[in-house]
Copies of this chain bind each other. A is one copy, B any other.
Amino acid sequence: MENFQNIRVAVDAIVFGYKNNSLYVLLIEQKFGSADKYWALPGGLVRQDESLKEAVIRELHEETNVHLTFMEQLYTFGDDIYRDSRNRVISVAYFALVDASNLEIKADTDADKVQWCKINEIPTLAFDHNLIIEKGIERLKAKLTYEPIGFDLLPQEFLFSDLENLYCTILEKEIDRRNFRKKILSYGFLEQTDHFSPVKSGRPAKLFRFNKLKYNVLLDKGFHFEIKFA
């Protein structure tokens, strides 16, 4: 009897977006019955014939219509054997990023509502999804300091002040604008475009672009991205 097992395998995605100088997570309102509505992370059971990664992509596609700029596995939640009250379910959580600056999300087939939720205004979610988000934020913060994933949250062409702001708000730290700029520019993977951004006040700012190719070349040469703060 030792080997009897009836465990369901699900995937969930924590999708981060950044706009209006704030960090957001993508949430959906789950239809259980017609009562009992809960906000939750997009996700669902893995199908028999699809890989874990395919499952997340499918679920995200069914429930939202965002275009991911980054995705990787985050953590597998299966220590609380009652995390789902109906069956034993373990969930493989994925961590994803998206450029939310100019993106309209709409509910798709599976979910009633899809919504960006500010990171500090997240309600109590279904299952252990609040836990997943915690872990996701942890990963986001860590990764921001040793991989150039900040660019995946911004539009292709962005202002230095936006990049700086992204770092400050997500890491909840102060930073010297001038040193930050110098450091990032010194890496040599940013390109100045000849476009300017419409600004409300102050000197017009050049738009920059992240050159992933150049970054990869640097990586091969042993380069190691790092942004530290005091």
Bound-state CA distance A5–B46 (Å) is 7
Inter-chain CA distance A76–B53, complex, in Å, is: 11
Whether A7 contacts B78 by the Cβ 8 Å rule is no
Query: How long is the Cα–Cα vector from A90 to B47 in the complex, in angstroms?
Result: 13
Q: Do residues A5 and B78 form an inter-chain contact, with CB atoms below 8 A?
A: no
Q: How far is the CA of A92 from the CA of B9 in the complex (A)?
A: 12
A73 neighbours in B (Cβ, 8 Å): 75-76
Q: How many copies does the complex hold?
A: 2
CB distance from A170 to the nearest CB of B (A): 18
Residues in B with CB closer than 8 Å to A80 are 51
A227 at the interface (CB under 8 A from B): no
Please report the C-alpha to C-alpha distance between residue A46 and residue B79 in the assembled complex, in whole angstroms.
Answer: 11
A102 within 8 A of B: no
B9 touches A48 (CB 8 A): no
Cα-based distance from A75 to B52 in the complex (angstroms): 12
Question: Are B49 and A81 closer than 8 Å at their CB atoms?
Answer: yes
A181 at the interface (CB under 8 A from B): no
> In the complex, A88→B55 CA distance in Å?
15
* Chain B hits for A88, CB < 8 A: 48
With A73-B75, A73-B76, A76-B76 in contact, is A47–B5 under 8 Å at CB? yes
Instruction: Give chain A interface residues in 1-60, CB to chain B under 8 Å.
Output: 2-9, 45-53
Q: Chain A 61-79 against B: per-residue CB contact (8 Å), 1 yes, 0 no?
A: 0000000000001011011
Contact of A4 among B9, B48, B75, B78 (CB under 8 A): B48
A88 to B73, CA, bound (A): 19
Chain B: CB-nearest residue to A51: B79
A76–B197 alpha-carbon span in the complex (Å): 43
Asked if A90 contacts B9 (CB within 8 A), the reply is: yes
A sample of 26 inter-chain contacts (CB < 8 A) reads A2-B47, A3-B45, A4-B48, A5-B8, A5-B9, A5-B45, A5-B47, A5-B48, A6-B48, A7-B7, A7-B9, A7-B46, A9-B9, A9-B78, A9-B90, A46-B78, A48-B88, A49-B81, A51-B78, A51-B80, A51-B81, A52-B79, A73-B75, A76-B92, A78-B92, A90-B92
Give chain A's interface residues, CB within 8 Å of chain B: 2-9, 45-53, 73, 75-76, 78-81, 88, 90, 92
